[in-house]
């Protein structure tokens, strides 16, 4: 499926990033030690999406879920992360 991802990005009018991102989210550096308590990531305080935004997220994730199941299964964990939000 050559060209699928660039066509999908163009379909959803996705601009090129100003700075490349190589991970789906920021990495928290682990702190090791006897007296250090690791706290879980706090839940998101972002507002809920409206219906139009929800449909857009579903369209984009559905497009890339098709690609992930057909060509590149390494995308599936990231799509799963989106669905849990």
pLDDT digits over 21-80, tens only? 887 777 877 777 767 677 777 888 889 889 999 899 889 999 999 999 999 898 888 888
Name the domain count of the chain.
1
Q: Is 14 a domain residue?
A: no
The phi, psi pair for 51, rounded to 5°, reads -60, -40
Rounded to whole angstroms, the Cα distance separating 67 from 59 reads 13
Query: Is residue 84 over pLDDT 70?
Result: no
Domain that holds residue 73: 49-85
Residue 7's pLDDT band, with cuts at 50, 70 and 90, is very high
* Residue 80 resides in a domain: yes
Whether this prediction's pTM lies above 0.95 is answered by no
Q: Is there a domain that residue 33 lies in?
A: no
How far is residue 75's CA from residue 68's CA, in Å, rounded to a whole number?
6
Residue 26 inside a domain? The answer is no
In a domain, 73, yes or no: yes
């Amino acid at each position: 499926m050559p060209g699928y991802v660039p066509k999908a990005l163009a379909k959803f009018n996705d601009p090129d990033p100003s700075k490349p991102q190589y991970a789906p989210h920021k990495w928290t550096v682990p702190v090791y030690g006897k007296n250090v308590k690791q706290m879980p990531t706090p839940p998101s305080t972002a507002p809920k999406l409206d219906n139009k935004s929800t449909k857009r997220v579903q369209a984009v994730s559905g497009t890339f879920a098709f690609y992930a199941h057909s060509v590149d299964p390494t995308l599936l964990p990231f799509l799963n992360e989106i669905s849990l939000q």
